[in-house]
Each structure stands twice: as structure tokens, then as C-alpha cells.
Structure 1
Amino acid sequence: MTFYHMDKLRKFVTRFLDERYSKWIFIIPGAILLAFFALPLMAIILRSINLDFFDNAFSQQAFKALRLSLLTSSITTLIAAVFGTPLAYMLARWKLNHKAWLELILDLPIVLPPSVAGVALLITFGRNGLLGSALNVLGISLPFTTAAVVLAQLFVAAPLFIRSARIGFAHIDQQLEESARVEGANQWQLFSEIMLPLSARALASGAILTWTRALGEFGATILFAGNLEGMTQTMPMAIYLGFERNIGVALALSVVLIFVSVILLMLTKKLEKPEE
């Protein structure tokens, strides 16, 4: 076979692979990873169907855990929105010294292991912690209380709201701000009448992510708040305890969390889509 024919054969094989099989280079590894994510979730759902799902899902332990999780997650999201929105606005629109360090501190809880967050909260707010003595004088004891659950959730989830709100404020056209200032708008008018409405979708998305993250928080909560039924036992901790006492309750609560998370993530995706 001559060099000319070999070159034609090589080009034919290359073109054939490009047109017929090159896509499988992407499909196969992508499908494997997708199956890795999907199969465990499907296994939980299928396994829970074979058990007394509704009896377990509406048991007293499950109901208490669900009620506490919904309450604490909602309080956490509200606190994050009230205190995080002004902070996100300042970081996005103001010229601040050492802004990079401030953002680093706010983003650090997102990547910290939950156990480290729990230990940090305990050392700070515990009876022998950094602020423990001052709190004891005031008659306040935070560890192993419902308030501790909220603090643990706030520590790990609020940065998600701040990050989303910060991005939302940062994407607002600078010319709108300059025009409002020319028209005589003060800082509060600029914030409440222009910035908040234009960043509403980002704020809502951040609130949903914060609520979802708080709902699933486990590591920091169990170290700082414990696992007391009706007081600090949220759904993730009831699931953990269920593996030792009642696997049916653990599976039922896991399915509930999966469906809640799916609904909230779908809502978040909808909010993230640009308006037509």
C-alpha cells in the first residue's frame, strides 16, 4: 500500500470516528457519573416503598424532627436575609478596605468540614468558651438547645445567601446607580427602590439555597446542639439515629428530604433562568 493510500485510509478512519463515535468519549464517562449520583437516590426510594412508609414518615419521632427542621431552617433563613442582605450589598457596591479578606471569611464556612464548624461554635459559645462566661452571667446557655441548632445552621448556610445576594447586587448596571444619584436619591432610596427589586431573583435563590442547606445540616449541629428528641433532633439527626433504632424512619425521612430538595432546586433553577 502506497503512502497516498495510507493517508487516505487514515483520513477516512479519522472522519468516521469523528462523525460516528467521538461523541461516546463524552457520553460514556458522563453516563457513569450520572448513574453514580442517581442510583443511590433511587435505591433509597425503592427500599422505602417496601416498608411501612407512611407509618414511619408520620411517626411521632419523624413528626417532631420534621417540625423542628422546618422551624429552625425558616428562622435561619430569615436571620440570614435580614443581616446578610445589607452585608452583601456593601461587599458588592461599596469600596471597602480588605474586601478580599472579608469575602474569604464569609466563604470559608462553605468549604469547612461541618465537624470543624461544630467545634468552633462550641469553643466560642460553650460554657467554657470564648463568650461562654459572659453568656453565663446573663443566664444564657446555648449548647444543646434549639437556639444552638439555629446558630449551627446559620454558620454553615448563611454564606450561601450572602454569596447569591452579592452576585445579584454586583450584576446591576452601574449606570442605574449613577442616574439615581444624579436624581438625588440617597443611599436608602437607592437600595430599597432600585437595588432590591432588581436583585430580587438572586435574593430569592439565595434564600432557597440557605433554607435547603439548613434543612440538611448535620455535622455542626450534632456537635454543638446534640441530638435531643423534640429539642435539637432535626431530620438529618433522626435519620442518623434511625439506622440504630428504626431503619424505616431513617428511610422515610430520607425520601422526604430528597423530594423537598428536588422541589427547591427546581424552583432555584427557575429563578436562575434569565427573564424573557
Structure 2
Amino acid sequence: MSGGTRLAPPHGPDAPRTGRGPGRTAARAHKGRTGRARRSAGRAGGGAPPVLTAPALLAVAFLLVPLLGIVTESPWRGLGSRLTSPDVGQALGLSLLVSAWALLLSLVLGLPLAWLLARVDFPGKALVRCLVLLPMVLPPTVAGVALLRGFGRRGLLGGPLDAIGVSLPFSTSGAVVAAAFVSMPFLVITMEGALLGLHPRYEEAAATMGASTLQTLRHVTLPMVMPSLAAGAALCWARALGEFGATITFAGNLPGSTQTLPLQVYLLLQDDPESATAVSLLLLATAGAVLFALRGRWLGRGGAE
């Protein structure tokens, strides 16, 4: 099958009826099933019992009060000058650079891993899945120590890396590695869930028509899981943007090289708490914008309610 040949719709009882290809048909069918399930859940929900409502409201308040504290205590009068200071601007630029490279690294390594976990049975699969989840539950400083012991100059791969002129600790590259280490699981888990929810019959149909694995991935699989890919990538990027513990432990806190916005907040909190609150507001607004743009997508919805 040539790279320019378009896949014809499969024939048979499972073939889509629209004539527009398997990816679009499956996406519409999945969206319809999700909508019906939400409506059924809404009808079956009924009123919330007070024994559950009270602690639920306390949980919302518990999560909301600290965030409101950042908003209400921010120095609004001098906010612009604080956020446009040279140090904050330098840290912001570095944060965007590090998080972008961390996202790219996560996409290159994480997408194949997610596909293997979802589509292939291999020995040690459960262990690999645990390894993917581990950075999400490790204390960030422990993650930084692990990176030092793995990629540091005296770590497991420190010698071979140093022999080819690669030094990761206390460098911008080290900050990228630290951010990718803690953020890649968000992409892998999101994509694995999306692939597990995708019926493999369309991929099988493409394979029977002569498509290679890469052609099937490009023309069938990726178009059908694109909303989940966007959600996983955005969550991965946001997590990388806010990384602190692993970065300061593995890459240090060097202005212009590894001092990202979260590290800048840590320094400002000791000398200028108001500026620290202002920069925290910037990070909070960024995270809120990402979640607002992706509302419902990690649950398989296509947009807002």
C-alpha cells in the first residue's frame, strides 16, 4: 500500500455506512454512545442525599479556599510591573522552552509506549504499567534523586553519557529531562485509556487491506483518538510547566539555565511574598486555561456541557 493511497472503507457487517472512512464513523458512534450514557446517568441520579452533600461541599471548599487566597491576596495594583520584571520574564521564557521540549520528548517516547500497553500483550506488561504510574506518586524530590542516580555524573548512565559529551545535571537539558520524567505519565495514561476504548476492528480492517502498522496508526488510529491526544498533551505540558521538586534536585536553580517559574516563586516567597503571589497567579491562570479548554475531553466528551 503506497503512502498516497487512501484506505477504502471495510466491507461486511461491521462496515461503516457513511462512506467516509472508518475513523470518522467510529468517532460519531462513540460520541453518540457517550451522550446517551450521560443522559441515562442524569435521569438515574435523582437528588443528592444530605449525608453526601455536606462532605462534598466541604471538599469543594477545601480545594477552593487556597486558590481564592491567591486571587484575593494578589497585588493587583502593581501586578503588571511585577509580572514584567526581567527576572520573571526570563523564568517565564525558560519555563515555556523547558515545557515545550518536555512535551515533545513525551510525545516521541510516550505515544509508542501507550500503543504497546493498549494493543500488545507482552511479558512484564503489568510491571511496565506500574513504572509508568510511579513518577505520578513519587515525591518530587525523590524523583530528582532518582534522576541523579540514573543520569548524574556518578549515576548508572553518567559515565557513558559523559563519554559522548552529554551532561544532564544542572543544565537546561536536565530541566527538560526532569519535567518529562514527571509529566510523561499523564500522556501515556490518557492515550492508553483512549486506545483501550477504541474498537480494534478498524485497525484490523486496515491491516487486511495491506496497510502497514505506521499507515494504520496515521490514517485510522490517530484521527479517532485525536481529542484524547490533545487532552493528554495539554495535561502533560501543564504538568511540565509547573514542575518544581525534581527540577531543583536534578537540574538546580540557576538563573537563565534551570530557574523556571515555580523555582522563581520559591525564591520570591522568601524576599518578596507579594511578587511570589503575583507569579503564582500567572501559573494558576495558565493551569485554569488548560483545564477550561479541555473540559470533559479526558472523559471522552467532545466539548462543553
TM-score, normalised relative to structure 2: 0.80
Contact 2:227–2:302 under 8 Å retained in 1: no
Query: How is 1:66-77 mapped onto 2 (pairs within 5 angstroms)?
Result: 66-77=92-103
**CA positional deviation for 1:274:** 2.5
Does residue 134 of the first structure (1) align with residue 160 of the second (2)? yes
**CA positional deviation for 1:167:** 1.2
**CA positional deviation for 1:271:** 2.9
Q: Residue 231 of structure 2 corresponds to which residue in structure 1?
A: 205
Distance 2:162 2:56 in 1: 54
What residue identity is the alignment partner of 1:233?
Q
Q: Residue 215 of structure 1 corresponds to which residue in structure 2?
A: 241
Q: Residue 112 of structure 1 corresponds to which residue in structure 2?
A: 138
Q: Residue 288 of structure 2 corresponds to which residue in structure 1?
A: 262
Flag structure 2 segments of 5+ consecutive residues without an equivalent: 1-46
Contact 2:136–2:182 under 8 Å retained in 1: yes
Deviations 1:241-276 (A, max 9, x none): 011122222111100011110110112224345349
Distance 1:234 1:122 in 2: 19
Does residue 86 of the first structure (1) align with residue 112 of the second (2)? yes
Distance 1:100 1:237 in 2: 35
Q: Secondary structure at the match of 2:74?
A: helix
Q: 2:178 aligns with which of 144, 147, 152?
A: 152
Does residue 96 of the first structure (1) align with residue 122 of the second (2)? yes
What residue identity is the alignment partner of 1:79?
L
Deviations 1:191-242 (A, max 9, x none): 1111111111111111011001001111100000111111101111100101
Q: Percent identity?
A: 39
Q: Residue 11 of structure 1 corresponds to which residue in structure 2?
A: none
Contact 1:45–1:255 under 8 Å retained in 2: yes
Q: 2:220 aligns with which of 194, 219, 232?
A: 194
Q: Secondary structure at the match of 1:232?
A: coil
Residues 130 and 46 (structure 1), Cα distance of their counterparts in 2 relative to 1, 3 Å cut: same
Residues 27 and 100 (structure 1), Cα distance of their counterparts in 2 relative to 1, 3 Å cut: same
Does residue 33 of the first structure (1) align with residue 90 of the second (2)? no
Distance 2:150 2:230 in 1: 31
Contact 2:103–2:233 under 8 Å retained in 1: yes
Contact 2:296–2:302 under 8 Å retained in 1: no
Q: Residue 262 of structure 2 corresponds to which residue in structure 1?
A: 236
TM-score, normalised relative to structure 1: 0.88
Distance 1:228 1:51 in 2: 30
Q: 2:150 aligns with which of 109, 124, 145?
A: 124
What residue identity is the alignment partner of 2:301?
P
**CA positional deviation for 1:84:** 1.2
Does residue 58 of the first structure (1) align with residue 84 of the second (2)? yes
Distance 1:40 1:51 in 2: 21
Count of aligned positions: 256
Deviations 1:120-144 (A, max 9, x none): 1111121222222222222322111
What residue identity is the alignment partner of 1:179?
A
Distance 1:153 1:212 in 2: 10
Distance 2:125 2:172 in 1: 33
Contact 2:135–2:143 under 8 Å retained in 1: yes
**CA positional deviation for 1:78:** 1.1
Flag structure 1 segments of 5+ consecutive residues without an equivalent: 1-20
**CA positional deviation for 1:119:** 0.2
Does residue 274 of the first structure (1) align with residue 301 of the second (2)? yes
Deviations 1:143-174 (A, max 9, x none): 11111100000110011111111111121112
Greater share of helix: 1
Deviations 1:22-50 (A, max 9, x none): 83322222222211111111111111135
Distance 1:64 1:159 in 2: 28
Contact 1:52–1:248 under 8 Å retained in 2: no
What residue identity is the alignment partner of 1:38?
L
129-138 vs 29-38, which deviates more?
A: 129-138
